Amino acid sequence: MSLEEKINKIKEEVKNFSLISNDDLEKFRMKFIVKKSEMMELFNQLKDLAIEERKEAGRILNEAKKAIEDKYLTHQETLSNQSVDYTLKEDITLPPFYTNKGSRHPISILKNKIVEIFTSIGFIIEEGPEIEDDWHNFSALNFALNHPARDMQDTFFINMEDQLALRTHTSSVQIRTMQTQKPPIRILAPGRVYRNEAVSARANCFFHQIEGLYIDENVSFADLKQTLFYFVKKMYGEAVEVRFRPSYFPFTEPSAEMDISCTICKGKGCTICKHTGWLEILGCGMVHPNVLKNCGIDPEKYSGFAFGMGLERQSMLLNEVNDLRTFFENDTRFLKQF
Ligand code: PHE
């Protein structure tokens, strides 16, 4: 077979070689393009030809080589485009499946606001366990042994032998903090508390409180008032009015309850404030010397104030929610309004 015949044979093979897959492409390359291929071997044979024939044969060979490469490259490109299938298999005109986006719980929103106000004036966040012993929840807080709050009627005991109970207030965190830290102490303790109460629109068996405690030398009732004034103005606006009413807690002396002018009727009287013009938002007082002593702090040297507020009550007032139970039902129709 002459060189020309061999070239024609290869040309014919190239023409008939179908390139459908990447595999075909590779076989094609091995057969016609790589150095050791049948086609490329033909170039070696050029040297055996007479000079005048060599020129023409070289031209034909180069032409064939170019055609082979062209075929290879065009198919390579088509195949690489095909490997990604851009055709849509879904019906994009169908309505989408909606997923419900979560939102922050109203109690968390309120908690975060209060935390922000107090941390900006130097209060530090502390936490305590929700299962407490009698000492931290009652005794260290100066509750008399026969105090009604210790009663099973009010407290969820979980172990009578060790007097373990679900904490009834965040004041237990006062004790834990004073036992482990030296004054000056400035803490804020948000948390969940439990009371054995019949569930109704105004009460639940658990709810949330934020406790505040400030212990240092020469802390006075004026400091307590000024701190709470500051908080209330930041929280409810400059126009809000504040009043203190004498009250009683075993762990503070003197004790007070703090009211703010009704945020709804601005003090004129409405159903929310039961026509008094005032809303009760927290209990507070000067830390009782017995409590300081119980925690190893010298009441002759140090004094301090404490306050505790319920979050559900405030959120109800702020958002005009009339049933406290809605905070705990996790109904998204309620939750997404905040
Ligand atoms: N622990 C009290 C309550 O649950 C609130 C309170 C805290 C009062 C701190 C005075 C000082 O009602």
Cα–Cα distance between 287 and 186 in angstroms, integer? 13
Question: Ligand 1 within 6 A of 284 CB?
Answer: yes
Which of 144, 145, 166 is closest to 155 using CA atoms?
A: 166
Domain match, 244 and 324 both: yes
Mean confidence (pLDDT) of the chain: 92
Measured by CA distance, the residue closest to atom 10 of ligand 1 is 284
Spacing of C-alpha 322 from chain mean position: 28
> Residue 119 C-alpha to ligand 1 middle, in angstroms?
20
Number of domains in the chain: 2
Residues 233/225, Cβ–Cβ less than 8 Å: no
> Do 77 and 125 fall within a single domain?
no
**What pLDDT does residue 84 have?**
67
Instruction: Say whether both 56 and 14 belong to one domain.
Output: yes
Please provide the size of the chain in residues: 338
Q: Is 31 part of any domain?
A: yes
- Residue 101 domain-assigned? no
Domain range for residue 129?
106-335
pLDDT 10s digits, 295-315:
999 999 999 999 999 999 899
CB 303 less than 6 A from any atom of ligand 1: no
CA of 292 to the centre of ligand 1 (A): 16
- Residue with the nearest Cα to atom 12 of ligand 1? 283
This prediction has a pTM of 0.71
CA distance 253 to 287: 6
Q: What is the pLDDT of residues 67-99, one digit of tens each?
A: 999 999 999 988 887 766 677 888 888 888 888
Q: Buried (b) or exposed (e) across 73-84, using 16+ Cβ within 10 A?
A: eebeeeeeeeee
Question: Using a 6 Å cutoff on CB, does residue 283 contact ligand 1?
Answer: yes
Question: Rounded to the nearest whole angstrom, what is the distance from the C-alpha of residue 277 to the centroid of ligand 1?
Answer: 23
- Report which ligand 1 atom has the smallest distance to the Cα of 170: 1
Contacts of 215 (CB under 8 A, 6+ apart): 178, 183, 184, 185, 287, 292, 297, 302, 303, 304
Q: Give the pairing of strands 157-159 and 252-261.
A: unpaired
Those residues of the chain that have pLDDT short of 50 are: none
